Structure 1
Amino acid sequence: MSHDVEAPAGVPGSVVVVGGGVAGFAVVRELRRRGFAGGISLVDPQGVPYDRPPLSKEFLTGDADAHRLLLAPPTWFAEHGVELVEDEAVRVVPGGVHPDGGPAPHRVETASGRVLEADAVVLATGGRPRALDVAGADHPDLITLRTRSDAEALRDRLTFGAEVAVVGGGFTGAEVAAAARRSLAAVTLVTGTDAPARAAVGPALAARLHRMHAEHGVAVEVGRAAWIEHRDADGGAALPAAHRLHLHDGRTVDADVVVLAGGTVPDTALAEDAGLEVADGVLTDAMGRTAVPGILAVGDAARARESAWAPSRHWEPALRSGAAAAAALLGEQADAPGAPWFWSDRYDAHVEAVGDMTVPAGGRIVDREVRGVVVASFALAADGTLRGAASIDDPMTVKAARRIIDRGIVVDPAALADPAVPVKSLARG
């Protein structure tokens, strides 16, 4: 099917999307769903877009293969006239003014030397692993988890009895530790705090989640790495394992496999080189538009200048931002995003959260207990409106809480705390 057609006024005739995660794919899919008939190229060295969240969960445990990760079958792209460019974008050059007085196209240059020109460019470059700034952290044998290749390399090393150290107790680190234990590896989790999920789910649920590590045989070391020693380096020949982590207080952790899971930061290198404004992400409006006409940014790489919510770098917000950018390119409106939502799985527990679980001034946290165990937590603003909710193994509560948050309903704290009161009943206002 040809997509070389004249675009309506104000609509680009061609679009290049840089990045094949969920946000980049959402742009492409939504453009075609809304009837965009122009040319689309999607640039990513990984080829066919695939889902990233399973890399630290089902893919590591072998419950999902590479095919199940795909966001769409390869045939979908040919059928919808989307060119897949399996290459790395190394430079984005904003267009200027053409000699005839019209706008000059933007350019995307790739590692192989190819140059793609388009009326619009969408940066969906995602996040990159946060660097661990200690001596020895740049050793090539240490693993960070960003791509399918990274996950494949780690999965091959998660064997019975393998000594695995995971540095970082956030959601990705916790998921990797759980997957490694399922592979019967001996796992040590090094984390800077005894409640790393506190800001995401509240103190009570964070403490419960953290206890799960010890309950499943994971050794937890609360502390920070000072430097990492390696057996293959000068002076390290006597080490009992391939690597030794030295913590600030003198404790050490020996491991044959070390996973650095210290979180991610927005990958803004292309945007910065192109002269775009960056501050904890490429700065955009609510629809993903940057200050440069025809260049947008979506997903984990972007940050809206004006938003009721702090950046939520998770799967669903990335999906929604990609769809919103597609609408913006066509001069159309997108659905209101609502409160940001995310999920995570570790061991046998399913975690969900929506909104913002940090307590605003004058606000409070309300916990809901069942038989003495906190199953859900709610963050209330000073005026009684719900700002955030989180649960373990109770997704319906979070779903109902999202409706309450989006509608700005004032709720009774006692009702939130009472497990006999369905949260969905409070969504009626």
Structure 2
Amino acid sequence: MAEPQRVVIVGSGLAGASAAGALRDRGYGGDLVVFGRERHRPYELPALSKDVLLGAADGPNRVHEPEFYEEVDLRLGVEITAVRLADHVVVDSTGAEHSYDRLVLATGSTPRALPVPGADLPGLHTLRTVEDSLALREKLVEGARVVVVGAGWIGCEVAAAARTRGAEVTVVDPVDVPLRRVLGPTVGGVFRELHEAHGVRWRLGVGVDGFTPDGVRLADGTEVAGDVVVLGVGAAPNTALAREAGLALADGGVAVDAALRASDPDVFAIGDIAAHDHPRYDGRVRVEHWANAKDQGVHVAGSVLGAAEPYQASPYFFSDQFELGMEYRGLADPENDRLVVRGSLERREFTAYWLRDGRLRAAMNVNQWDDGTALQALVDAHAAVSPDQLRTAAPGDLV
């Protein structure tokens, strides 16, 4: 495959900016154009629900120093509205056409809404951009009544930040335990108790029936009063551009092979939208986390330049809530995999393991920071280990 003369990246988030950086790091000297809808220089998202909301930072970490973009044609505030695969052209909202030899789609995702009455009322907050985070932070003040809809990662992190800033916080979700879909009821219960210990109120096991100017109306007929309502009910991958272009979709995202190539050989997809044929897992994997965006962005540079190496990184994410910090590696089915815990759930100092057919599928270290490398190796290898080994041995002794 000849080296492309012109690479276009659609999306200026972490995935797209990481791809641009990796292309230059690999010595690619051709034209490199990055289109982004936002007007900010590319930045990372994790701080938006953590340090920025808490007031510990006034903005997120940037992906590259400003000088890097002297080597890249970075076009901010520009929306790409169409891709013509046969012509190797993308079209922006003004109708202007931009040619490419290789195209990388890194269009990210958009916060989901709830299809209930009042969903269009002003003042409902979502959290995706730096503007979202700063606007919400202004409302998280002492005594404010904050209702968070959604007990996933974003909902729990927002609740922790709001409570730390002195707000009265209620979290609503139809699930019976926060984070159950990812961690299962036992480990999810650790987070429920953590938040309760800090004064967060839960309304679990009940959905939202609508929004009013005074708060949230629940499906059981009760209402939760709120000055501030935050929606944290997940995100939808931005696949419309790929779909309308005729690219194959799968599992909610853009279907890509092991090397992150889409159904058109000159197009690649990374980050939130990539439904990846992952060599380490059965079927496709689509991950909406910081590490996946960064690592796929770095990896796709090789694929764009002709390499065919598979992307094999295990999913990874982290969270900080109150005094609890954690890292998660791998991909578990918590409702069916076997949970093994080493350490103390009560003290919130433990490692949780998930086993399937005698092999390790995922691991999460909580308030323990010395075992990350060993846990990564064990998860990557789908190590064959017994529950007794996991309970009694240090991770480093199992590698």
The Cα offsets for residues 181-236 of structure 1, whole Å up to 9 and x where unpaired, read as 12111111112223232332343221101211111111111121011112xxxxxx
Q: How does 1:330-345 map to 2 (within 5 A)?
A: 330-334=305-309, 336-345=311-320
Q: Select the residue among 65, 68, 71 that pairs with 1:76.
A: 68
**1:344 match: secondary structure:** strand
Paired residues of 1:205 and 1:392 also in contact (CA < 8 A): no
Go from structure 1 to structure 2 and tell me whether the alpha carbon gap of 1:152 and 1:190 turns closer, same or farther (over 3 Å shift): same
- Rounded to whole Å, the distance in 1 between the matches of 2:368 and 2:332 is 16
- Rounded to whole Å, the distance in 1 between the matches of 2:382 and 2:83 is 43
Match of 2:19 in 1: 27
**2:69 match: secondary structure:** helix
Tell me how many residue pairs correspond in the alignment.
Answer: 392
Paired residues of 1:199 and 1:357 also in contact (CA < 8 A): no
Supply the AA of the counterpart residue of 1:85.
R
Q: How does 1:7-406 map to 2 (within 5 A)?
A: 10-46=2-38, 47-66=40-59, 68-78=60-70, 81-96=71-86, 104=87, 106-222=88-204, 223-230=206-213, 243-279=214-250, 280-309=252-281, 310-334=285-309, 336-358=311-333, 364-370=338-344, 373=347, 375-382=350-357, 384-406=358-380
**How far apart are 1:398 and its partner, in Å?**
4.5
Seq. identity, %: 35
TM-score by length of 1: 0.86
Go from structure 1 to structure 2 and tell me whether the alpha carbon gap of 1:13 and 1:409 turns closer, same or farther (over 3 Å shift): same
- Rounded to whole Å, the distance in 2 between the matches of 1:346 and 1:355 is 21
- Rounded to whole Å, the distance in 2 between the matches of 1:170 and 1:95 is 37
- Rounded to whole Å, the distance in 2 between the matches of 1:252 and 1:138 is 18
Paired residues of 2:182 and 2:334 also in contact (CA < 8 A): no
Match of 1:233 in 2: none
**How far apart are 1:395 and its partner, in Å?**
3.6
Paired residues of 1:201 and 1:353 also in contact (CA < 8 A): no
**How far apart are 1:134 and its partner, in Å?**
0.9
The Cα offsets for residues 379-419 of structure 1, whole Å up to 9 and x where unpaired, read as 1122x22111112112434432220122343213112112x
- Rounded to whole Å, the distance in 1 between the matches of 2:109 and 2:120 is 18
Go from structure 1 to structure 2 and tell me whether the alpha carbon gap of 1:127 and 1:368 turns closer, same or farther (over 3 Å shift): same
Which has the larger Rg?
1
Task: Give the RMSD, CA atoms, in angstroms.
Answer: 2.0
TM-score by length of 2: 0.92
**How far apart are 1:322 and its partner, in Å?**
1.3
The Cα offsets for residues 234-270 of structure 1, whole Å up to 9 and x where unpaired, read as xxxxxxxxx3211111121111111111011211111
Structure 1 unpaired stretches of 5+:
1-8, 97-103, 231-242
